[in-house]
Amino acid sequence: MAEIDNIENDSAVYKTLLESTRAIPWKVDLNTMKFSYIGPQIEELLGWSASSWTSVDDWAERIHPDDRGAVVNYCLAQSQAGTDHETDYRALKKDGGYVWIRDVIHVVRKDGELDSLIGFMFDISERKKTEDKLVRLQKELEELSFKDALTGIANRRMFDSIFEREWSSARRDGQPVSLILLDVDCFKEYNDHYGHVNGDECLKNVAQILNAVVSRPRDFVARYGGEEFVLVLAETTEESAYKIAEKCRSQILEDAIPHVKSRVSQVVTISAGVSTVIPSSNIEKEVFVQLVDGLLYRAKQSGRNCVVSDNAVSKAVVPENIRDVTPAIWHRS
C-alpha cells in the first residue's frame, strides 16, 4: 500500500513540476488521435482552455493557414515513421493573434508498437523576433558588403558576382555581353591640388553621372577600384556599348568639374576601354577583362579623354571655352 501511495505521490509531484514550467506538456493517443493531456499553461499563452483541446484536429485548426499544411504533413510523416521531431509554427490565439510555437515531439512505443506522442510546446515569439532582426541586419550587412562606401554604387566584389552571372547567362544563351572600363584622367594631380576631400567628392560626382547614364534594369555600374569604374552591359552589341561609353565620357566632360592641373583639359575627363564578346569555351572572362583593360590603357596612350574599342578610337569633342584654354593639347590629335 505504501508503494502505491509513493507512486501516486510521485505522479502528483511530476505533474506539479510540469505545470509550473513555461513549457506546455501534452500527450496524444495515436489510436484515437485525441489529447489525453495538455498542460493548463496553454490557456495563459493562447487563451484556449485545456478542455478545448480534444483532438489533433483542434491543434491543426489553430495553426496559421500559411504554416498548417507543411507542419501537419511533416509531423504526421515523422510520427508514422516513429521518429522524434520538432517543428516551429504560428499558433492561433483566442483573440485572433498568433504566437510562435516550437513543438518538441517524442514518439512512445508500447510492446514494440506506436502508442502515443508526448511533447512540449515552447513560446519562441521573442526568439523569432530576434532571429528576424538578425536576418534583417545580415541582409543590410550583405548590401553594405556589396556597396562602395564612398560613392554608394556597387563595389568590386559586387562586380565580380554580377559579371560572373552575366557571363554565364550570355554563354548559355549565345548573347553578347559588353564591358566598359573607365578611369578618371590625371586623378593623382587632382588629389594633390584640390585635396583628398575634394577628390572624394569628384569620384562621387563621376559615380552619379555614370549611374544616370545606364538605364536598363540589367545595366550595371560599379567602382572598380581607386578612380576606375566598370560597366557591365548584358545583351548589348559593341556599337551600342561604344555609344554608352561615349555618352559617359561626354556627360562627365559637360559636367565641367574644374581640374586646372589636368594634362588634358581644365575640367575632369575620363578615358575608357570597351569591348563586346559572345562568351565561349575559347575565352575566359578574366582574359576578356584584361583585354578591355588593355583598351583602357590605349585610351590613356591616345591622349586621354577618349573611348577606345577593338575597332575605333573616339574623337574628343571639347566645348569652345575649354578648348581655348588648352589649345596645344587638343590640337596634337
- Catalytically active residues are 227
103 strand-pairing partners? 87, 121
**Cα–Cα nearest to 271, from 242, 290, 296, 239:** 296
Q: For residues 305 and 200, what is the distance between their CA atoms, to the nearest angstrom?
A: 20
Q: Return the amino acid letter for 272.
A: A
DSSP state string for 49-112: -GGG--BHHHHHHTB-HHHHHHHHHHHHHHHHTT--EEEEEEEEPTTS-EEEEEEEEEEEEETT
Hey, what's the torsion of the CAs at 150, 154, 159, 162, to 10 degrees?
Answer: 170
Q: For residues 90 and 41, what is the distance between their CA atoms, to the nearest angstrom?
A: 17
Half-sphere exposure of 126 (CA within 13 A, CB side): 2
The 3-state secondary structure of 174-192 reads: CCCEEEEEEEECCHHHHHH
Half-sphere exposure of 70 (CA within 13 A, CB side): 9
Q: For residues 5 and 228, what is the distance between their CA atoms, to the nearest angstrom?
A: 85
Q: For residues 71 and 15, what is the distance between their CA atoms, to the nearest angstrom?
A: 28
Q: For residues 67 and 101, what is the distance between their CA atoms, to the nearest angstrom?
A: 11
Q: How many residues does the chain have?
A: 333
For the record, the C-alpha cell of 257 comes out as 568639374
